Amino acid sequence: MTGAPQPSPDAPPDAPPDAAPESRSGMPSAAAPARSNVLAVASGKGGVGKTWFSITLAHALARAGRKVLLFDGDLGLANVDVQLGLTPGDDLGAVIAGRIPLERARVRYADGGFDLIAGRSGSGSLATLTADRLASLRRSVDGVGRDYDRVVLDLGAGIERPVRLMARNSRACLVIATEEPTSITDAYAFLKVARLEGLCADLRIVINMAPSLRAGEQTYAALRRACREFLKFEPPLAGIIHRDDHVRDSIRRQTALLNRHPGAEAAADVERIAAYVIDEM
C-alpha cells in the first residue's frame, strides 16, 4: 500500500485517521488510555431501565462532587435527551457527519450538574458505522473524557458489534438485569461475550426493578450461578434498585428522578451505587 490512508469525509474530525489493529474477534482494538475513566452501562435486552439508570448514576455522581460526562452511545436509538426533555443544538450525528469535533457536541444539563453528549435517535447511519469508525469514535470518547472524573457511557442493548466495540477498554462495565427470565438470559449472553472477548476486565451486575431486596438478591444469585458454572467467574453485585413508581413518573415528565423525587427509594438505591462506584471502581 502506498501513501498514508485518508479519513473518510464524514469521519469525526478529532479521530485518528489510521484504523486500529483487529483483535481475534475481528473488531479493531481501540487504543485505551493508561487508566480509562469510562463506566459502560450495558444490558442484554432493552426495556430494563438502562438509559434511566445511566442518567441517574451520572446525576448521583455529580451530586457527590464528581465532574461527569454522560455519553449516549445507544447508536441509532438514542434517547437520553428525550428522557431529560432536552433539545441539543448539536449531537453525535453532527460529529459523525464531520461538522463538529466531539467536544463541541457537549451540552450542559444544569439541573443535574453534569455534561452530556446526545445521540441521534432513529439515525441508521450511526447504527451501521464501520468497525474502524466506531473504534475511532470510541478513542475520541476517551480523549474528551480526560476532562472528567467519570464518563458514563450508555450503551445500546444487545451484543452486536457496535455495542461490543463501544464497551471495549472501559474502566468497568455495569450490566443491568431484571428478574424477567429473558433479561437474565440476555444479561448472561452479554457477560459471556464480554468475558470471552476481553471487552472489559471489571464486569459487575446491577439488578433493576426488584420487587424487594430479597427478590433482587435471588435474581443476582441466578445470574452469578450461571457465570460460575459456565464461565468460571463470578461478577460482583454493584447494587439492587427497587421497583418504584416514581421512576415512571419522572420519565413521563422528562425530568431526572433525583430532581423530581429525590427521596424516592430508587433514588436512594442509585445514590448507594454511585458511592460504591466512587469507592470501588
pLDDT of residue 98: 85
Please report whether residue 218 resides in a domain. Answer: yes
The residue length of the chain stands at 281
pLDDT of residue 51: 94
pLDDT of residue 35: 64
Please report whether residue 10 resides in a domain. Answer: no
Looking up cell 459456565 gives 230
Task: Strand 203-210: give its sheet, edge to edge.
Answer: 106-109, 114-117, 68-73, 150-155, 38-43, 172-177, 203-210, 237-242
Residue range(s) defining the domain that contains residue 200:
38-280
Number of domains in the chain: 1
Below-70 pLDDT ranges, the chain: 1-35, 76, 120-127
Please report whether residue 24 resides in a domain. Answer: no
Task: Determine whether 259 is exposed, middle or buried from the number of CB atoms within 10 Å of its CB (0-12, 13-18, 19+).
Answer: middle
pLDDT of residue 128: 75
* Residues 22-57: tens digit of each pLDDT: 443 444 444 444 468 999 999 988 889 999 999 999
Residue type, 80: V
User: Where is 223: in which H helix or E strand?
Assistant: helix 213-230
Residue 173's CATH number = 3.40.50.300
Please report whether residue 58 resides in a domain. Answer: yes
- Distance separating alpha carbons of residues 126 and 76, to the nearest angstrom: 6
First to last CA, the chain: 43
pLDDT of residue 123: 58
Residue type, 126: L
What predicted TM-score, i.e. pTM, was given to this entire model?
Answer: 0.85
- Distance separating alpha carbons of residues 174 and 281, to the nearest angstrom: 11
- φ, ψ at 139 (rounded to 5°): -65, -35
Please report whether residue 22 resides in a domain. Answer: no
Task: Determine whether 208 is exposed, middle or buried from the number of CB atoms within 10 Å of its CB (0-12, 13-18, 19+).
Answer: buried
For residue 158, is it left (φ>0), alpha (ψ between -120 and 50) or beta? left
Residue type, 136: S
pLDDT of residue 30: 42
Please report whether residue 12 resides in a domain. Answer: no
Please report whether residue 11 resides in a domain. Answer: no
